[in-house]
Amino acid sequence: MAGLEDIPLDRRPKHVAIIMDGNGRWAQQRGLPRIEGHLRGVESVRNAMEACRDFGVQVLTLYCLSSENWKRPAQELEFLMALLKQYLIAERETLVEHNLRLRVIGRRDDLPQEVQAEIDATLEACRNNTGMTLCLAINYGARSELVDAVRALSARVERGEIRVCDIDEDMISSALYTAGIPDPDLLIRTSGEMRVSNFLLWQISYAEIWVTETLWPEFDRSHFVQAVRDYATRSRRFGGLSEAARPS
């Protein structure tokens, strides 16, 4: 656990979400095809998973494929689907060995059938695991998630299961893809972009945001330590006052 020994567990984030950005730029800067950046990015995924396990993080959510990414060139999309399928197969044994739970959020029905099959196989393999949760956001968009939640709640109203006046924040949260998962404490974005890119818009309302210029293929354990150290220095007020600012 080198690097965070002096940070108490209660000062570390329980849920870390990461916008993994910069694969294409990393490759282009080196005169390589964009797909090489995606290949290199898989190693950064492993680094982040290992760091989270070692540092007591309970949930790691990774923005793997946004619903907007379908606008990319067909060849790159085909490669991303093949890479995702390969990752699910290659990492299945590791997930089981390390007792990692798996969640997949997003509109899965739009994914190729062979990718959906590997998702199902990996979910089944991890079904009885009890350790850290790895949550993969695949074909995910926060606005689409909110639309789906509204539709689900509206259907319940139509069936007479709930009344409109029953709908509150907890009920909306329970209708999201992330139902049962605590909201992120820390949102990390690589590549220096200062936006959240339609990622977990409801869930990150009070998350601390940490942005690094580092491109995702170069993101390693040391960057994760920096992010957690910075998080530990912040005062999370959730709209209230800090202890120092409260009247005596």
pLDDT in tens, 163-196: 999 999 999 999 999 999 999 999 999 999 999 9
Within a 10 A sphere around the Cβ of 118, how many other Cβ atoms? Answer: 19
Residue 167 maps to a domain: no
| Range from 60-69, 151-160, 229-238 carrying the lowest mean pLDDT | 229-238
Residue 37 maps to a domain: yes
pTM of this structure: 0.92
Residue 242 maps to a domain: no
Residue 157 maps to a domain: no
Residue 2 maps to a domain: no
Q: Are 218 and 197 in contact (CB under 8 A)?
A: no
Q: Are 92 and 125 in contact (CB under 8 A)?
A: yes
Residues involved in catalysis: 21, 69
Place of tokens 């390969």: 86
Q: Sorting pLDDT into bands at 50, 70 and 90, what band is 94?
A: very high
Query: What domain range includes position 213?
Result: 12-141+184-230
Residue 1 maps to a domain: no
Which value, to the nearest 10 degrees, does the dihedral of the CA atoms of residues 176, 52, 37, 202 take? 20
pLDDT surpasses 60 at 63: yes
CATH number of the domain at 215, please.
3.40.1180.10
Residue 154 maps to a domain: no
Provide the sign of the torsion angle of the four alpha carbons 194, 190, 103, 75, taken in this order. Answer: positive
pLDDT surpasses 80 at 248: no
Q: CA-CA distance, 52 to 223, in Å (whole number)?
A: 12
Residue 174 maps to a domain: no
Q: What is the pLDDT of residue 1?
A: 46
Q: What is the pLDDT of residue 13?
A: 98
Which residues are registered as beta bridge partners of 208?
186
Number of domains in the chain: 1
pLDDT in tens, 110-148: 999 999 999 999 999 999 999 999 999 999 999 999 999
